[in-house]
Structure 1
Amino acid sequence: MDLLQKLDETNSLTKEEIVRLLKNMTAEKKEKLFDLALKTRTRYYGNRVFMRGLIEISNYCRRNCLYCGIRGMNANAERYRLSESEILECCQDGYNLGYRTFVLQSGEDMWYTKEILVGLVTRIKQLFPDAAVTLSIGERDIATYDALYKAGADRFLLRHETASRELYEKLHPGMSYDDRMGILRKLKQIGYQVGAGFMVGLPGQKEEHLAEDLLFLKEFQPEMIGIGPFIPHSETPLKEEKGGTVEDTLVLVAFSRLLVPEALIPATTALGTLSPTGREQALMAGANVVMPNLTPTLFREKYDLYENKICTGDEPAHCRSCIERRINSTGSIVDLGRGDNVRFIPEKISPDKMIGCN
């Protein structure tokens, strides 16, 4: 059986089969792969693309990941931190624009204690009870994750970055591969909709490593999968390295859609940074989420995980209308609802209020 046909029919391949496909990905095979991924997305979610309001609450970080522009050792980073009132104002702006999911993202900024974060999540859910709250704030202790879930947080994004222990330890000094994987599993046990994911084009990354990433996603079955290209930053140890490509990233997005059909997969801003049509191409390769920025424009350029990020000067209303036009250009329609994973019916909300679960 043709390997792409097998992937489509079984949602599964061996590591050796994945490596073989990745190493022999002709233009014809890519076209077929993207077509199969889009059909799979349509089967589970129709032609809807979910829009989330992204709020980058802080660029302080205690970590020193070799690829990241906001790493703690970057003395040239201009740091900022949003107050609770500023965050709530962003949420209000987003709510007025129709968003019903807010994604709060930051470096690992320990100024936001468990108490501060619980208070923030509680307030957001009080003000916007029909909206979902997604957190992407890095590694914390389990008691904090548990308290945040009880306060109303619905989802947690924590990319595994790479399923290769060797690569992980090389790229993340002072961090533990086992801790990362253990936290992801604990987040699922707590009840979050969990997002994992990785970068494409990392220094030293081979097809075998990417196959390990895909097999981890297949085994872990995250509700969300974030995949983006590695983009070198001039203030990091990897500044001279070659970056990842849109083309390679799209292949991994499509693979992920076929291996984890129910996943919510963003068309990332990083793809749009590398190509004017990067996000549209991702949607046509099986992605079904976009995250327009609600962060105050004064701070957006400072949240520079990578350089030359697009849309840093656009007002929220402009971002929303611009991305909506891009989504429509791919033949999809915008869904501003909560946009929960189709297999996930959290106890916190009644099924009749779920979006995408009928």
Structure 2
Amino acid sequence: MTGIVEKLYNTGDLSDGELKALIGTDDTETAELLRRYADETRQKSYGKKVFLRGLIEISSFCKNDCLYCGIRRSNKDADRYRLSREDILSCCENGYGLGFRTFVMQGGEDSFFTDDFLCGVISEIKEKYPDCAVTLSLGERSYESFRRLREAGADRYLLRHEAASEELYRKLHPVEMSLENRKECLFSLKELGYQVGAGFMVGAPFQNTEHIIADLRFLQELQPQMIGIGPFIPHHNTPFAGENGGTLELTLRLLGILRLMFPKVLLPATTALGTIAPNGRELGLKTGCNVVMPNLSPVKVRKKYDLYDNKICTGEEAAECRGCLQRRIESAGYEIASERGDCIK
């Protein structure tokens, strides 16, 4: 198995059969070699820098009914909220003072947030903080909407494809959603000049190794600047409440594989990874990750942005969150970079 890791390190690609063997192995020697090569590869491009993204969760309303998500429209017990323009700008002001140079506006697909509203907020953020990047993660929108948001100053867009296999996508999403449209949105975002992020859940219900290989092949086709993966974590008010979650071991293995397949990509150590293991994010950083996304949202709404159960950091003020992460990052042997942290071309 170490020969497969060596080949991936040297060439950046494997056959489907080799990928299947590597994804499926539980050999500890292979895991350590993969981790070491992934860390070495990220350091060639980014050194020990870890980029902070200030996460602002602007709305827990969502028109979609994805079977895995706690803010799905069918969840009548969800505690819904929306941030105002003033709330969002206050989060940015707070975050800028704490050294954040990227702000990520994330939310459910909420029609309240029109292009006019978002363009106004984006323009104001870019005017006040010209050295900062604005990232959006607001789901599927029209080409015209993506164009307007880009022209207003949005730099990046995160849109996980969730499952590149049509068969698996259908099992995770309601009938009115389509993988074809999801992919079309991602290619539109690239065409419009966004730095684009895609990604998938690890250990989602019904997912098998062939589905994961399909995800990796789609990412090779898309060539995004950012790839976000994290373990599936069940939410108690969804149809998947009783399903098993994704494992730390498989998530780390895939992070290492992604770093070797995409040496210059921006790869976050996600909150979900930190939720399933106390040192999950540190282990992610040691396995090729170079981004963390502390929460800048007002504490009063953090528990309401309830995508999955037991989410960490819902009670911390932004300064606490940043301080805690800085200590964790430094303890893992890395350093926070107070810069935009764009993907190296």
Q: TM > 0.5 between the two?
A: yes
In structure 2, the partner of 1:95 is: 96
In the alignment, is residue 212 of structure 1 matched against residue 228 of structure 2?
no
Residue from 283, 293, 296 that aligns with 1:294: 296
In structure 2, the partner of 1:78 is: 79
Corresponding residue SS for 1:2: helix
Corresponding residue SS for 2:182: helix
User: Within 2, Cα distance between the matches of 1:325 and 1:297?
Assistant: 21
In structure 1, the partner of 2:35 is: 34
Pairwise CA distance, 1:170: 1.6
Pairwise CA distance, 1:23: 2.0
Partners of 1:132 and 1:338 within 8 A in 2: yes
Partners of 2:122 and 2:134 within 8 A in 1: yes
After TM superposition, the structure 1 = structure 2 runs for residues 147-186 of structure 1, keeping only pairs within 5 Å, are 147-173=148-174, 174-186=176-188
Pairwise CA distance, 1:79: 0.1
Corresponding residue SS for 2:201: strand
Corresponding residue SS for 1:86: helix
In structure 2, the partner of 1:317 is: 319
After TM superposition, the structure 1 = structure 2 runs for residues 256-335 of structure 1, keeping only pairs within 5 Å, are 256-335=258-337
Provide, for residues 51-96 of structure 1, a one-character-per-residue CA deviation record: whole Å limited to 9, x for no partner: 1111000010000000000001100001000000110000000001
Corresponding residue SS for 1:179: helix
Provide, for residues 244-303 of structure 1, a one-character-per-residue CA deviation record: whole Å limited to 9, x for no partner: 111111111111111111110110001111111000000001000001100000000000
C-alpha RMSD over aligned residues: 0.9
Partners of 2:23 and 2:250 within 8 A in 1: no
- Per mean C-alpha deviation after superposition, the further-off stretch among 212-221 and 298-307 is 212-221
User: Within 2, Cα distance between the matches of 1:22 and 1:228?
Assistant: 15
User: Within 2, Cα distance between the matches of 1:56 and 1:246?
Assistant: 25
After TM superposition, the structure 1 = structure 2 runs for residues 43-192 of structure 1, keeping only pairs within 5 Å, are 43-173=44-174, 174-192=176-194
User: Within 2, Cα distance between the matches of 1:6 and 1:167?
Assistant: 29
Corresponding residue SS for 1:156: strand
Partners of 2:63 and 2:108 within 8 A in 1: yes
User: Within 1, Cα distance between the matches of 2:48 and 2:211?
Assistant: 32
Pairwise CA distance, 1:30: 0.5
Pairwise CA distance, 1:164: 0.7
User: Within 2, Cα distance between the matches of 1:177 and 1:207?
Assistant: 19
Partners of 1:214 and 1:255 within 8 A in 2: no
- Per mean C-alpha deviation after superposition, the further-off stretch among 73-82 and 1-10 is 1-10
Residue from 228, 239, 245 that aligns with 2:230: 228
User: Among the aligned pairs, what percent are the same residue?
Assistant: 55
Provide, for residues 8-35 of structure 1, a one-character-per-residue CA deviation record: whole Å limited to 9, x for no partner: 0110112221012122341110011111
Corresponding residue SS for 1:21: helix
- Per mean C-alpha deviation after superposition, the further-off stretch among 45-54 and 208-217 is 208-217
User: Within 2, Cα distance between the matches of 1:290 and 1:24?
Assistant: 27
User: Within 2, Cα distance between the matches of 1:339 and 1:310?
Assistant: 24
Corresponding residue SS for 1:286: coil
Corresponding residue SS for 2:274: helix
Partners of 1:15 and 1:215 within 8 A in 2: no
TM-score by length of 1: 0.95
In structure 2, the partner of 1:340 is: 342
Equivalent residue letter for 1:342: I
Provide, for residues 171-220 of structure 1, a one-character-per-residue CA deviation record: whole Å limited to 9, x for no partner: 11120110001110110010000000000011111111111111221222
User: Within 2, Cα distance between the matches of 1:73 and 1:232?
Assistant: 16
User: Within 2, Cα distance between the matches of 1:234 and 1:25?
Assistant: 29
Corresponding residue SS for 1:254: helix
- Per mean C-alpha deviation after superposition, the further-off stretch among 16-25 and 299-308 is 16-25
User: Within 2, Cα distance between the matches of 1:65 and 1:145?
Assistant: 22
User: Within 2, Cα distance between the matches of 1:86 and 1:179?
Assistant: 32
User: Within 2, Cα distance between the matches of 1:91 and 1:299?
Assistant: 16
In structure 2, the partner of 1:19 is: 20
Corresponding residue SS for 1:339: coil
Partners of 1:159 and 1:196 within 8 A in 2: yes
Partners of 2:230 and 2:251 within 8 A in 1: yes
Corresponding residue SS for 1:50: strand
User: Within 1, Cα distance between the matches of 2:93 and 2:75?
Assistant: 32
Partners of 2:157 and 2:197 within 8 A in 1: yes
Partners of 2:65 and 2:173 within 8 A in 1: yes
User: Within 1, Cα distance between the matches of 2:26 and 2:164?
Assistant: 22
User: Within 2, Cα distance between the matches of 1:241 and 1:336?
Assistant: 39
Pairwise CA distance, 1:120: 1.1
Partners of 2:23 and 2:254 within 8 A in 1: no
Point out where structure 2 has 5 or more consecutive residues left out of the alignment: none
Detail structure 1 runs of 4+ shifted over 2 Å in the superposition: none
